[in-house]
Amino acid sequence: MYSLNTPVPTAVSRLARGLAAECREATPRDRHTLVVKRLGEGDAGTLAREVRARLVGTTPFEARVTGVDVFTDPPTGRAPVAYLAVESPGLEAIHRRLCERFDPVEGIEGDGYVPHVTIARGGDADRLAGRELDLAWTVDGLLVWAADYREAAERIALPV
């Protein structure tokens, strides 16, 4: 299974780890990424070529962590899920374009897409909710992420 992810800077990962450490009963996320769109099965190289074709003309854009929110009823896994809320019109535009080619996963993509970086899930993760934050970075590349191997299979530099 492959997805298109936005790498997050060290400062975002450090922030997520620090917040997770405040929970006593939640399971922290060990790797911090931001899923742009699930791509499904196939060959990583072929999927990357299809993504590049859809993103021609896309230039680097800003993403901004604005606070901590919680999914109280996630479609899979333990609840609650505390996450860093991310605002990025550029990211949302890419997601919409890719939903035209790769079917949206019901409930979490398309209209239900919420750009986020998971902090922790289960237990007392909801204790982190409501914090306001402001941490911005420039997205200048994307990763075709191989879930089975938990690593990037292809890198897509912006501009495409």
What's the domain range around 10? 2-157
Structure tokens at 160: 């495409």
Q: 128, 152, 92: which is closest to 16 by C-alpha? A: 128
CATH of the domain at 60: 3.90.1140.10
Question: Per-10-residue mean pLDDT for the chain, 160 residues long?
Answer: 96 98 96 95 96 97 98 94 98 97 94 96 97 98 94 95
Question: Domain count of the chain?
Answer: 1
Q: 155, 153, 157: which is closest to 140 by C-alpha? A: 157
Q: Which residues pair with 143 in a beta bridge?
A: 5, 155
8 Å CB contact between 66 and 134: yes
Q: Which residue has the tokens 């790769």?
A: 102
Helices 44-54 and 89-99, packing angle to 10 deg: 110
Please state, in angstroms and rounded to a whole number, the distance separating the CA atoms of residues 159 and 8: 18
In single-letter form, the type of residue at position 6 comes to T
Q: 20, 32, 19, 26: which is closest to 80 by C-alpha? A: 26
Neighbours of 143 (CB within 10 A): 21
pTM of the model: 0.95
In angstroms, how far apart are the furthest CA atoms of the chain? 45
pLDDT of 60 reads 98
Q: 110, 140, 107, 137: which is closest to 37 by C-alpha? A: 110
Q: What is the DSSP letter of 31?
A: S
8 Å CB contact between 129 and 68: yes
Please state, in angstroms and rounded to a whole number, the distance separating the CA atoms of residues 48 and 44: 6
